[in-house]
């Protein structure tokens, strides 16, 4: 009948479920949609796109297609959607923007049947197959083109998948760079974090708490404040350079460039992410009984040997958790590289932001985001296969 | 001992990044909220006018915002941006238009108009010159758009710090790219715009043929090769206020910049900066109205006021940007604060236009996306 505890449980879980749906599932879903589904051209020029589906892709289409295109361009101009159409086509082939907008402007004054003759007089591009191929390509509602672009591939005129011309290849390089930087940062965090966590775990409770607070206070401080404080430290007229010059280690006119480049990104991100390494490590290390090391020593093991055979294996779940946390956070990091990365220190997320905010190519931004998402997911699965996710301990 | 002095000096780049982050977060929130919350009652006693910040915004305020407020009783809320259509697009898509009038570059005006983001502006509705010449005849015959009132011509030039070159001074665009004759770091805007033109002019292309060469497949590669020759000496800037600062700080010995910003640093702050006009890239700004504004009539009133003869002439009393009305050019006189004669400092003054490139908004509208991509690929190479 009426199961009261169960209803209560469902009701209690409802806000959280709704929250996850609204803030996590829905945005991810809509982003995924955007990266694949692009109905713009098909919506503005439905007749032309449908007619072009019958076209063999070589030579020029029939008068009927020309007439449809002319009518739909004129309507787009009246409804002021022609600019969006032009932008979309221009993304496919640079130069089509002005073909579309100029044709739109001249259509009423100078156009007329037969359209296969009058359209090319408005703009010579209508007499070439390229623009029709572009219309056919972009007319598909579901398109893999954003994913192709996200890995530096594209369609050529005949619809075959080819690599982007060399001068336009960015994203594959950036993905690899982002992975490399994230791995470097993870490694740096581990090298810095392990001894710190060890120290905190080994220290007497009072000092241990103090050390832990020293880790936590910056962790609780605003990310922006911590990032910009690195600018104060590392800039050319900054504290570190002043110190080096004062000590005579660097001449005044050759101050080191340590910020607004990759060095800045590495330093600041390692610093910002270090607590995510230290905290899981510490919580695991705290659970390792100190007597075990003493027992190993009393059985004749030197300290390095005891550490290697007894302590290190037991701390591995913490290492795994810390590395996974730091790596996944680093791979999507955006604010710190944007502030201190200059040009060479930009990562893939900065370009996603660029396409969202500046170029307004949201399809490409979504595809880049999805590629990143899948990459993280794969790494996570790999981690699970190799180390086992159930062995991970976050504290 | 006082050698170590920590100072917080957030660079313009970082500030822009911060602004971008906040803007992004804000827009997302806005987009999420505006779907559910009905627009409240609009306050009709003010309009939001968006300009480029810094000394240019200051010039606009002094030249006509203050007078507009006094004469009409309508308050102006000043906002600033760094070009582009992203914010307007977001406002249009969320149906929450908060900007009314924007000071906009030609390329953006063209795109915004085609995308239906901007209201059309009919030149016949703009005020005539004091002598009765209708507005359409009074405006200079430069790039016509449907959705904007012609306002000013500005130019991207390069300038150098006098103290860095005590003997030989740079005089041509080629000198900017000559690291042997003029060693030292250079500032350039982190965008392909104007830089491609500069590179070709420096490479020997006549100013009038720059876009012809760029339209050729080989042309952009040629420009990037020329930029390659100074790439490792370039410090990239984003906001117009940065170059005078970088020159004054000695971070760079020369930098590309908007001519008005250099003029103001020179005239108002006494910085020893000199503009090299050779190869300048001239561009045009318009006053545009954001489509969907609830204050269309007030916005039209402001645009007519801001592009009237007296307002455009007044701008030249505060910054060296050229008015696009014949009747305003006749009124160009002295700098308000320093008394410097403004004529010779105008981008379109006779002695400055010998080798001037006139920005081609059509070419940029067609190629902006591809150039951004190629420029980004070139930068990280």
* Backbone phi, psi, residue B357, to 5°: -90, 130
What pLDDT score does B22 carry? 55
Is the Cβ pair A83, B4 closer than 8 Å? no
Is the Cβ of A22 closer than 8 Å to some Cβ of chain B?
A: no
Closest CA to B304 of B289, B284, B285, B314: B289
* Backbone phi, psi, residue B192, to 5°: -70, -25
* Backbone phi, psi, residue B22, to 5°: -65, -40
What pLDDT score does A102 carry? 85
What pLDDT score does A164 carry? 86
On the CB side of B40, how many CA atoms lie within 13 Å of its CA? 3
Which of the residue ranges A87-91, B224-228, B372-376 has the most confident prediction, judged by mean pLDDT?
Answer: B224-228
Cα(first)–Cα(last) distance of chain B, in Å? 44
* B35 pLDDT above the threshold of 70: no
User: How many Cβ pairs within 8 Å bridge chains A and B?
Assistant: 116
Instruction: Pick the more confident residue, A344 or B180.
Output: B180
> pLDDT band for position B68 (50/70/90)?
very high
What pLDDT score does B21 carry? 55
Instruction: Pick the more confident residue, A341 or A140.
Output: A140
For the segment B183-203, the average pLDDT, to the nearest whole number, is: 93
User: Residue B199 forms beta bridges with which residues?
Assistant: none
Contacts of A83 in chain B (CB under 8 A): 111-117
Question: Poorest-confidence range of A62-71, B4-13, B68-77, B242-251?
Answer: B4-13
Closest CA to B319 of B377, B275, B265: B265
* B177 pLDDT above the threshold of 90: yes
> pLDDT band for position A112 (50/70/90)?
confident
DSSP label at B179? T
What pLDDT score does B25 carry? 54
Cα dist from A78 to A144, A299, B291, whole Å = 31, 89, 15
What pLDDT score does B16 carry? 54
Is the Cβ pair B4, A246 closer than 8 Å? yes
Minimum Cα–Cα distance from B90: chain A residue: A357
* B47 pLDDT above the threshold of 50: yes
Residues 258-277 of A with CB under 8 A from B: 260
Question: Poorest-confidence range of A43-47, A365-369, A373-377, B206-210?
Answer: A373-377
For the segment B162-169, the average pLDDT, to the nearest whole number, is: 90
* B66 pLDDT above the threshold of 90: yes
Is the Cβ of A43 closer than 8 Å to some Cβ of chain B?
A: no
> pLDDT band for position B149 (50/70/90)?
very high
Cα dist from B378 to A95, B191, B203, B221, B381, whole Å = 21, 11, 18, 10, 5
Of B4, B10, B221, the CB nearest to A243: B4
List of domains in chain B: 44-153+284-346 (3.40.190.10), 155-282+353-380 (3.40.190.10)
User: B12-34 and B86-94 helices cross at what angle (nearest 10)?
Assistant: 10
Contacts of A94 in chain B (CB under 8 A): 366-367, 369-370
Is the Cβ pair B21, A90 closer than 8 Å? no
Contacts of A344 in chain B (CB under 8 A): 380
CA angle A359-A360-A362, nearest 5°?
125
> pLDDT band for position B219 (50/70/90)?
very high
Contacts of B89 in chain A (CB under 8 A): 360
Instruction: Pick the more confident residue, A4 or B120.
Output: B120
Is the Cβ of A231 closer than 8 Å to some Cβ of chain B?
A: yes
What number of H helices and E strands is found in chain B? Answer: 16, 10
Average pLDDT over all residues of chain A: 88
Is the Cβ pair A342, B221 closer than 8 Å? no
Contact B160, B170 (CB under 8 A): yes
Is the Cβ pair B366, A97 closer than 8 Å? yes
> pLDDT band for position B34 (50/70/90)?
very low
pLDDT digit string, tens, across residues B249-272: 888 899 999 999 999 999 989 999
Is the Cβ pair A170, B20 closer than 8 Å? no
Instruction: Pick the more confident residue, B82 or B199.
Output: B199
Minimum Cα–Cα distance from B190: chain A residue: A343
Of A170, A224, A232, the CB nearest to B8: A232
Average pLDDT over all residues of chain B: 86
Is the Cβ pair A338, B374 closer than 8 Å? no
Is the Cβ of A154 closer than 8 Å to some Cβ of chain B?
A: no
Question: In 10 A of CB B2, how many CB atoms?
Answer: 4
Could you tell me the residue ranges of all domains in chain A?
40-139, 171-391
For the segment B18-27, the average pLDDT, to the nearest whole number, is: 55
Is the Cβ pair A343, B378 closer than 8 Å? no
pLDDT digit string, tens, across residues A23-82: 989 988 988 999 999 999 999 999 999 999 888 878 899 999 999 999 999 999 888 888
Q: What CATH number should be reported for the domain whose range is A171-391?
A: 1.10.3720.10
Gap between the Cα atoms of B115 and B84, Å rounded? 13
Tell me the ipTM for this assembly: 0.73
């Amino acid at each position: 009948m009426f199961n009261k505890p169960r209803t209560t449980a469902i009701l209690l879980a409802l806000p959280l479920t709704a929250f996850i749906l609204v803030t996590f599932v829905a945005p991810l879903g809509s982003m995924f949609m955007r990266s694949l589904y692009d109905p713009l051209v098909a919506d503005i020029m439905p007749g032309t796109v449908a007619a072009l589906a019958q076209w063999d892709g070589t030579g020029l289409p029939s008068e009927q297609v020309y007439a449809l295109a002319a009518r739909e361009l004129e309507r787009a101009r009246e409804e002021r959607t022609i600019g969006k159409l032009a932008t979309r086509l221009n993304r496919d082939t640079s130069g089509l923007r002005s073909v579309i907008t100029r044709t739109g402007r001249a259509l009423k004054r100078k156009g007329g049947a037969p359209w296969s003759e009058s359209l090319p007089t408005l703009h010579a591009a209508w007499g070439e197959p390229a623009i029709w191929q572009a219309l056919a390509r972009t007319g598909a509602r579901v398109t893999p083109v954003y994913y192709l672009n996200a890995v530096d591939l594209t369609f050529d005129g005949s619809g075959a998948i080819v690599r982007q011309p060399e001068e336009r290849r960015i994203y594959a390089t950036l993905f690899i760079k982002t992975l490399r930087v994230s791995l470097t940062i993870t490694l740096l965090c581990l090298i810095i974090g392990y001894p710190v966590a060890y120290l905190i775990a080994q220290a007497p409770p009072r000092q241990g708490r103090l050390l832990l607070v020293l880790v936590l206070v910056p962790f609780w401080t605003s990310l922006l404040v911590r990032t910009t404080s690195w600018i104060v430290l590392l800039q050319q007229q900054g504290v570190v350079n002043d110190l080096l010059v004062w000590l005579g280690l660097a001449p005044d006119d050759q101050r080191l460039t340590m910020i607004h480049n990759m060095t800045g990104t590495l330093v600041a991100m390692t610093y910002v992410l270090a607590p995510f390494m230290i905290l899981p490590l510490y919580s695991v290390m705290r659970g390792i009984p100190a007597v075990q090391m003493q027992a190993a020593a009393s059985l004749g093991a030197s300290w390095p040997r005891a550490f290697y055979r007894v302590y290190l294996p037991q701390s591995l779940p913490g290492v795994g958790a810390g590395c996974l946390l730091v790596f996944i956070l680093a791979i999507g990091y955006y604010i710190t590289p944007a502030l201190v990365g200059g040009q060479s220190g930009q990562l893939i997320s900065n370009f996603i932001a660029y396409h969202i905010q500046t170029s307004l190519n949201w399809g490409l931004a979504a595809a880049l985001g999805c590629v990143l998402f899948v990459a993280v997911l794969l790494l996570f699965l790999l981690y699970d296969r190799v180390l086992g996710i159930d062995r991970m301990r976050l504290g | 001992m006082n050698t170590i002095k920590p100072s917080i000096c957030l660079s313009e780049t970082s500030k822009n990044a911060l602004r971008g982050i906040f803007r992004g977060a804000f827009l997302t929130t806005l987009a999420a909220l505006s779907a559910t919350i009905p627009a409240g009652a609009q306050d009709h006693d003010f309009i939001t006018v968006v300009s480029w910040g810094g000394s240019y915004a200051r010039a606009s305020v002094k030249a006509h915002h203050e007078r507009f407020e006094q004469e009409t009783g309508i308050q102006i809320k000043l906002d600033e941006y760094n070009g582009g259509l992203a914010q307007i697009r977001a406002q249009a898509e969320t149906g929450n238009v908060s900007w009314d009038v924007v000071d906009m570059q030609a390329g953006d005006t063209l795109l915004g108009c085609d995308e239906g983001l901007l209201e059309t502006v009919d030149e016949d509705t703009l005020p005539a010159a004091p002598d009765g010449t209708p507005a359409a005849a009074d405006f200079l015959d430069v790039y016509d758009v449907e959705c904007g009132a012609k306002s000013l011509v500005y130019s991207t030039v390069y300038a150098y710090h006098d103290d860095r070159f005590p003997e030989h001074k740079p005089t041509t665009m080629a000198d900017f790219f000559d690291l042997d004759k003029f060693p030292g770091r250079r500032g350039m805007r982190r965008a392909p715009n104007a830089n491609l033109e500069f590179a070709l002019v420096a490479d020997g292309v006549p100013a009038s043929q720059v876009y012809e060469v760029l339209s050729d497949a080989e042309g952009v590669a040629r420009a990037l090769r020329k930029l390659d020759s100074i790439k490792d000496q370039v410090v990239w800037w984003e906001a117009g206020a940065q170059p005078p600062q970088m020159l004054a700080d000695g971070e760079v010995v020369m930098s590309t910049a908007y001519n008005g910003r250099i003029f103001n640093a020179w005239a108002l702050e006494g910085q020893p900066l000199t503009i090299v006009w050779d190869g300048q890239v001239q561009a045009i700004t318009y006053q545009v109205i954001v489509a969907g504004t609830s204050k269309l009539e007030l916005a039209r009133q402001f645009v007519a006021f801001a592009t009237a003869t007296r307002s455009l002439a007044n701008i030249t009393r505060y910054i060296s940007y050229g008015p696009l009305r014949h009747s305003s050019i006749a009124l160009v006189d002295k700098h308000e604060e320093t008394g410097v004669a403004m004529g010779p400092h105008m981008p379109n003054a006779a002695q400055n236009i010998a080798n001037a490139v006139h920005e081609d908004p059509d070419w940029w509208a067609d190629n902006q996306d591809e150039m951004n991509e190629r420029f980004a690929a070139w930068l990280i190479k």
